[in-house]
Amino acid sequence: MTDYVGRYGTPLYVYRLDEVRKTATALLRGLPQPSRLYYSLKANPHPSVVRELTAQGVHAEISSCGELRAALSAGQNPADILYTGPGKSIHDMRTAIRSGVRRFSVESRTERGRLGEAAETEASDVEYLVRINAPGPAAGSAGLRMTGVPSQFGVDFEQARAQPELFRARGRLRPVGMHFFPATNVADPTALFEEFRLSVETAAALRESTGFDPELIDLGGGFAAPFAKPGDLPDYSSLRESLEPVLDQNFPGWRDGRPSIAFESGRHLTASCGTLLTTVLDVKQSGGRTYVVLDAGTNVLGGMAGLGRIMTPAAVPLRVAGAGPEAAMAGQPPSQAVTLVGPLCTPLDVLSRSASIEPIEEGDVLQIPHTGAYGLTASLLAFLSHPPATEVVVDGTTEVHVRRLELTETPLKGVAR
Ligand SMILES: Cc1ncc(COP(=O)(O)O)c(C=O)c1O
């Protein structure tokens, strides 16, 4: 790590492809067989990361044309890509269809109408899944519920049941499946199994009431990972054994691909591959607290913290430079609680309100683990116009790719959309 800092400075993200490979292999092995796994590019759209997952047989789940470009440049076959997410514009849909994407998840009747229009205009046959907002489990163990509560995602179960025509072919559109994504960051494997079980049973109930027999059931995900703090990835290897009987019972043809079963994962696949390196610019006292000012703020990491979402006060950086060698530093007992802040001119630019850390001083470099998902591209990249952090991709000891994203100005006068 110290070498990379010497070469590229900070703030610097390091992504390890060997770790991506290891994580993908373990998750794939723990899922029911056969099933397909989609990688949610929103977690980290870096093409080298996506290319590694492509090589592992993981398909792309995208929610924008930017993610589409990243997926295609990473060698994804457009016919295998799933386009999801609320608020897809007709421009997004047409661009994706023109690029060869043929499978979309629709979040409402309106979206299905728009997708039909896009398919007609592009003169292409398109398949769709209906995303369902199914009732959630009684006890909440999710990091964040997407459905199972009132939300902008999917079609409420009762509404879907009352609209069997949502599941009928129309024009160039053919319904092929149902899509669920009830929750994210469900660290307890038993709780995640329960989410999947409920989704399978909901799919079976919808088949009964609508007469629609799905060819594909996307059970979504919820596979968790620590964010910006040390810890282990949850072990989901028991899922295969627990979920297969549920599928046997509700969809007996699933082992022969009727229906085929899919899962989605973002953070679990990439969080652990990433480390953020950041330099201490100042250490100061105010009102009895220690403030550590870093060159990485919410423009580099945890931009969604402003929504009260992902930053936890437990982010624990490890010191890699300064007074001692990195090996000796890791694992040292924490000796003080500090507030980690970034260089942005707002009191909201806080990475952690009480990070436990050994004494540090100006010039030290901290490493923040588990930042390979929802790191740079989930941050306030343009705020205050600092250059985005550099990203280096390594595989073992081999450096694979180094880049820095740039925000550029494109004059649009007279340019058609
Ligand atoms: C439809 C859908 N798929 C996948 C994901 C990725 O979630 P995670 O990174 O927690 O796996 C999300 C996250 O919000 C989502 O809404």
Give the per-residue SS3 of 160-189: HHHCHHHHCCECCEEEEEEECCCEECECCH
Atom of ligand 1 minimally distant from the CA of 105: 1
Instruction: Please tell me whether residues 345 and 215 are part of one structural domain.
Output: no
Task: Express each pLDDT in 311-343 by its tens digit.
Answer: 443 334 444 433 333 333 444 445 678 999 999
With pLDDT > 70 as the criterion, what percentage of the chain qualifies? 89
Model confidence band, residue 305 (pLDDT cutoffs 50, 70, 90): low
Atom of ligand 1 minimally distant from the CA of 269: 11
- Residue 132 three-state SS: strand
Helix axes 90-98, 109-121, angle to 10 degrees: 50
User: Ligand 1 in contact with 381 (CB < 6 A)?
Assistant: no
Instruction: Quickly count: other Cβ atoms within 10 Å of residue 415's Cβ.
Output: 7
Over range 64-91, report the average pLDDT: 97
Task: Express each pLDDT in 344-388 by its tens digit.
Answer: 999 889 888 888 888 889 999 999 999 999 999 999 999 999 999
Q: Peptide bond preceding 234: is omega within 30 degrees of 0, i.e. cis?
A: no
Residue that the structure tokens 């977690």 belong to:
43
Instruction: Please tell me whether residues 81 and 201 are part of one structural domain.
Output: yes
Instruction: Please tell me whether residues 185 and 292 are part of one structural domain.
Output: no
Q: Look at residue 414 and tell me if it is in a domain.
A: no
Task: Express each pLDDT in 13-50 by its tens digit.
Answer: 999 999 999 999 999 999 999 999 999 999 999 999 99
Q: How many CA atoms lie within 13 A of 20 on its CB side?
A: 33
The domain that holds 294 is classified in CATH as 2.40.37.10
pLDDT at 140: 57
Instruction: Please tell me whether residues 101 and 212 are part of one structural domain.
Output: yes
223, 245, 265 - which closes a domain? 265
63 neighbors 85 (Cβ within 8 angstroms): yes
For ligand 1, the distance from its centroid to the CA atom of residue 278, given in whole angstroms, is 27
pLDDT at 413: 78
Q: What is the mean pLDDT of the chain?
A: 90
Instruction: Please tell me whether residues 106 and 189 are part of one structural domain.
Output: yes
For ligand 1, the distance from its centroid to the CA atom of residue 213, given in whole angstroms, is 25
Which range of residues forms the domain containing residue 332?
2-11+272-404
pLDDT at 138: 58
262 neighbors 176 (Cβ within 8 angstroms): no
For ligand 1, the distance from its centroid to the CA atom of residue 266, given in whole angstroms, is 6
Q: Going by CA atoms, what residue is nearest to atom 15 of ligand 1?
A: 181
Instruction: Please tell me whether residues 149 and 177 are part of one structural domain.
Output: yes
Q: Look at residue 259 and tell me if it is in a domain.
A: yes
For ligand 1, the distance from its centroid to the CA atom of residue 184, given in whole angstroms, is 6
226, 249, 265 - which closes a domain? 265
Best of 184, 196, 371 for a ligand 1 pocket test (most atoms within 8 Å of beta carbon): 184
Q: Is the pLDDT of residue 232 over 80?
A: yes
User: Ligand 1 in contact with 221 (CB < 6 A)?
Assistant: yes
Over range 399-416, report the average pLDDT: 87
Instruction: Please tell me whether residues 221 and 360 are part of one structural domain.
Output: no
In sequence order, what are the beta bridge partners of 218? 179, 262
Instruction: Please tell me whether residues 297 and 172 are part of one structural domain.
Output: no
Instruction: Please tell me whether residues 106 and 121 are part of one structural domain.
Output: yes
Which residues, 6+ apart, have CB-to-CB distance to 337 below 8 Å? 290, 354, 355, 356, 357
Instruction: Please tell me whether residues 285 and 161 are part of one structural domain.
Output: no
pLDDT at 337: 85
Number of domains in the chain: 2
The domain that holds 47 is classified in CATH as 3.20.20.10
Instruction: Please tell me whether residues 301 and 188 are part of one structural domain.
Output: no
Instruction: Please tell me whether residues 111 and 145 are part of one structural domain.
Output: yes
212, 246, 265 - which closes a domain? 265
